[in-house]
């Protein structure tokens, strides 16, 4: 269990983390969500005593990080996969860490096997692809077999296979009863991974709720209707006590709370031609963007984009982030034996 109370961090005039209080519980994956610059990394660094809070506290199983007798056995973290010594082999990177934390050497081989890096254990880590580096960082987090694991944007830049592997690893670790805390700026990714969500914007807590509640509150279902006799259709709907919202961007009507069957029958009764009658579900990504819209630091304004408060564009709740084209695939040239419940 991780407990934050009134955690605040100021860098000069900038308040990066603003009076954050929440708990991260065992047995579930907790997603830590916020747009770029929201304060996720700063919060995680304070959890690991890498930054001093301006005020407030973090407790790991009731203790300050610095008071944990052998911290790697309590909490493991992937903050920056590039933090390894590139001149050392994967094995030696982990061995140094194990020796300085009184962790038995056999654990090094175990975690290398767990993350599928056994075949490249003796290779210098500076030659590793992004995905392999990410796996090595995860191996170091797992080294002390800790009950609490923290991952800062672990899927950034990975291909779909790498994303799936990390997702399943986190779920498997949570199913073992561990506390898993993972940051992301992608709601669509968290929708597939997290059981619980903590959302921040400009360092402040915006939401702390179960994924199921977030979906229930935000995945609006509606029916989209399009007709060449739109005004007549509106009148007919109005006459039947049904509110329709005109969406200029799509030229369609959107109706909440009435099924497509009833709407189709009404149109047929009044001999109104329909060009579209489709059930829709709002995307969770857009709900998240609306939630954090006021706290986004860097806005890019696309023509016609009117997210905050505007109509909810429909889309799948489970869209996957696309992999940048220049990112190497998992498994190229190394043993990608997968463990962890995949």
Q: Given the rule CB under 6 A, which of 11-19, 103-111, 140-148, 238-246 is the region that contacts ligand ATP?
A: 11-19
Per DSSP (E only), the strands in 193-334 are 196-201, 204-210, 221-226, 245-247, 252-256, 276-281
Binding to ligand ATP (CB under 6 A): which residues in 156-195? 185
Q: Given the rule CB under 6 A, which of 31-39, 218-226, 306-314, 319-327 is the region that contacts ligand ATP?
A: 31-39
Measured from the CB atom, the residue of 112 and 206 that comes closer to ligand ATP is: 206
Is residue 53 a contact residue for ligand ATP (CB under 6 A)?
Answer: no
Instruction: Identify which of 100, 122, 125, 126 has the alpha carbon closest to the alpha carbon of residue 109.
Output: 122
Contacts with ligand ATP, 281-310, as mask; x by CB under 6 A: ----------------x-------------
Cα separations in angstroms, 94 against 97, 100, 102, 135, 216: 5, 10, 12, 12, 43
As measured in angstroms, the least distance from the Cβ of 131 to ligand ATP is 19
As measured in angstroms, the least distance from the Cβ of 34 to ligand ATP is 5
As measured in angstroms, the least distance from the Cβ of 23 to ligand ATP is 20
Identify whether the C-beta of residue 60 lies closer than 8 Å to the C-beta of residue 48.
no
How far is residue 171's CA from residue 27's CA, in Å, rounded to a whole number? 9
Is residue 196 a contact residue for ligand ATP (CB under 6 A)?
Answer: no
Is residue 265 a contact residue for ligand ATP (CB under 6 A)?
Answer: no
* Residue 41: partners with Cβ closer than 8 Å, 6 or more residues away: 79, 152, 183
Q: Which of 18, 24, 30, 34 binds ligand ATP (CB under 6 A)?
A: 34
As measured in angstroms, the least distance from the Cβ of 183 to ligand ATP is 7
Identify whether the C-beta of residue 149 lies closer than 8 Å to the C-beta of residue 76.
yes
Measured from the CB atom, the residue of 123 and 204 that comes closer to ligand ATP is: 204
The SS3 assignment for 159 reads coil
Is residue 37 a contact residue for ligand ATP (CB under 6 A)?
Answer: yes
As measured in angstroms, the least distance from the Cβ of 293 to ligand ATP is 16
Contacts with ligand ATP, 216-255, as mask; x by CB under 6 A: ----------------------------------------
Measured from the CB atom, the residue of 32 and 91 that comes closer to ligand ATP is: 32
Q: How many CB atoms lie within 10 A of CB 158?
A: 24
As measured in angstroms, the least distance from the Cβ of 80 to ligand ATP is 10
How far is residue 44's CA from residue 33's CA, in Å, rounded to a whole number? 12
Identify whether the C-beta of residue 292 lies closer than 8 Å to the C-beta of residue 38.
yes
Tokens at 265, concatenated? 């029958």
How far is residue 312's CA from residue 191's CA, in Å, rounded to a whole number? 18
Is residue 42 a contact residue for ligand ATP (CB under 6 A)?
Answer: yes
Is residue 155 a contact residue for ligand ATP (CB under 6 A)?
Answer: no
Per DSSP (E only), the strands in 44-203 are 55-60, 75-78, 148-152, 179-184, 196-201
Is residue 40 a contact residue for ligand ATP (CB under 6 A)?
Answer: yes
Measured from the CB atom, the residue of 94 and 150 that comes closer to ligand ATP is: 150
- Contact residues: ligand ATP, CB under 6 A: 11, 14, 16, 34, 36-42, 185, 297
């Amino acid at each position: 269990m991780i407990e934050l109370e009134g955690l605040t961090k100021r860098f000069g005039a900038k308040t990066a983390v603003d009076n954050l209080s929440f708990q991260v519980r065992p047995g579930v994956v907790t997603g830590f969500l916020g747009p770029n610059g929201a304060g996720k990394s700063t919060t995680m660094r304070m959890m690991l005593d890498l930054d001093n809070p301006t005020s407030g506290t973090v407790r790991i199983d009731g203790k300050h990080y610095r008071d944990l007798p052998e911290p790697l056995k309590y909490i493991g973290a992937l903050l920056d996969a590039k933090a390894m010594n590139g001149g050392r082999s994967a094995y030696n990177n982990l061995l140094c860490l194990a020796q300085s934390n009184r962790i038995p050497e056999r654990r090094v081989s175990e975690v290398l096997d767990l993350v599928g890096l056994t075949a490249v254990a003796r290779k210098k880590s500076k030659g590793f692809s992004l995905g392999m580096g990410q796996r090595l960082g995860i191996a170091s987090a797992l080294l002390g077999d800790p009950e609490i694991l923290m991952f800062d944007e672990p899927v950034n830049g990975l291909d779909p296979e790498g994303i799936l592997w990390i997702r399943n690893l986190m779920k498997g670790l949570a199913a073992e009863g561990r506390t898993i805390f993972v940051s992301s700026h992608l709601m669509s990714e968290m929708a597939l991974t997290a059981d619980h969500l903590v959302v921040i914007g400009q360092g402040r807590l915006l939401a702390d709720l179960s994924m199921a509640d977030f979906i229930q509150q935000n995945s609006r279902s509606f029916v989209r209707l399009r007709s060449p006799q739109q005004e007549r259709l509106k009148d007919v709907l109005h006459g039947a006590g049904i509110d329709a919202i005109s969406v200029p961007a799509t030229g369609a009507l959107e109706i909440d709370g009435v099924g497509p069957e009833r709407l189709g029958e009404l149109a047929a009764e009044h001999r109104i031609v329909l060009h579209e009658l489709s059930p829709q579900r709002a995307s969770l990504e857009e709900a998240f963007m609306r939630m954090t819209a006021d706290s986004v630091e860097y806005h890019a304004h696309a023509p016609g984009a009117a997210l905050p408060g505007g109509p909810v564009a429909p889309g799948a709740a489970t869209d996957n982030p696309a992999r940048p084209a220049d990112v190497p695939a998992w498994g190229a040239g190394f043993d990608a034996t997968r463990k962890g419940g995949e």
